[in-house]
A = this chain, B = another copy of it.
Amino acid sequence: MTTAKGIATRQRIVEAAAAEIRERGTLATTLDDVCRRSGTGKSQMFHYFPEGREQLLLAVTEFEARHVFDDQQPYLDDLVSRAAWEQWRDVIVDTCRRQGPHCPLGVLIADVGRYSPAAQAVTTQLIRRWQDAVRTGIEATQAAGEADPALDADRTAAAVITAIQGGVSVLLSTGSVDHLEAVLSLCLDHLLGPVGQ
């Protein structure tokens, strides 16, 4: 049923929607805009997204989330030393600074992520996947003797990704990345001990 051509068409629709949303915001983007930009008809659109606008927005959320994961590589998959954690932190802070209040995933999750069970399922799964990657890093860092072995790795990972979301949330409200840097540094100091120890 999903041919290579079908996958390509669906992907073209998702990328067109992502581009529209990046330019104009979630609320201003209509299915007609996305059809026009992607060169697809309404019937094709409803073939790939039978539930309509929200289903498309969730596919765009997953698409933007892949970018966010990719932006964190290769650091996210190699969190084992203080140097690696600090590089990862700096990549996150720099990416957020560059995007300013226009973080595509942050905007999307804020706009679509709150109300429906489908949206909650997607964001919950993204959070879980990110938390698992960070937890793996914490466990590796503990095994390498560079992090306090008494810390609960999963709960600490939950704290770290929540801290980042808070930093993004403050960034969206104020335009400044300082709070993101402060909270993420506090988490790393707690995980790794103060610099120089």
Interface residues of A (CB under 8 A from B): 27, 101, 107, 109-110, 113-114, 119-120, 123-124, 127, 150, 155-156, 158-170, 172-175, 178-180, 182-183, 185-187, 189-190, 194
CB-based nearest B residue for A186:
B159
A161 vs B164: C-alpha distance in the bound complex, in angstroms? 12
A132 to chain B, nearest CB (A): 14
A170 vs B162: C-alpha distance in the bound complex, in angstroms? 7
Decide: A159 and B173 in contact? CB cutoff 8 A.
no
Decide: B162 and A167 in contact? CB cutoff 8 A.
yes
A107 contact set on B, CB distance < 8 A: 114
A168 vs B110: C-alpha distance in the bound complex, in angstroms? 12
CB-based nearest B residue for A187:
B186
A120 vs B171: C-alpha distance in the bound complex, in angstroms? 10
Identical chains in the assembly: 2
Decide: A162 and B180 in contact? CB cutoff 8 A.
yes
A88 vs B165: C-alpha distance in the bound complex, in angstroms? 21
Decide: A173 and B120 in contact? CB cutoff 8 A.
yes
Decide: B190 and A127 in contact? CB cutoff 8 A.
no
Q: A101-B114, A189-B190 are in contact. Are A158 and B173 (CB under 8 A)?
A: no
CB-based nearest B residue for A25:
B115
Decide: B183 and A163 in contact? CB cutoff 8 A.
yes
A135 to chain B, nearest CB (A): 12
A168 contact set on B, CB distance < 8 A: 169
A194 contact set on B, CB distance < 8 A: 150
A187 vs B162: C-alpha distance in the bound complex, in angstroms? 12
Interface centre among A119, A159, A187, A194 (most CB of B within 10 A): A159
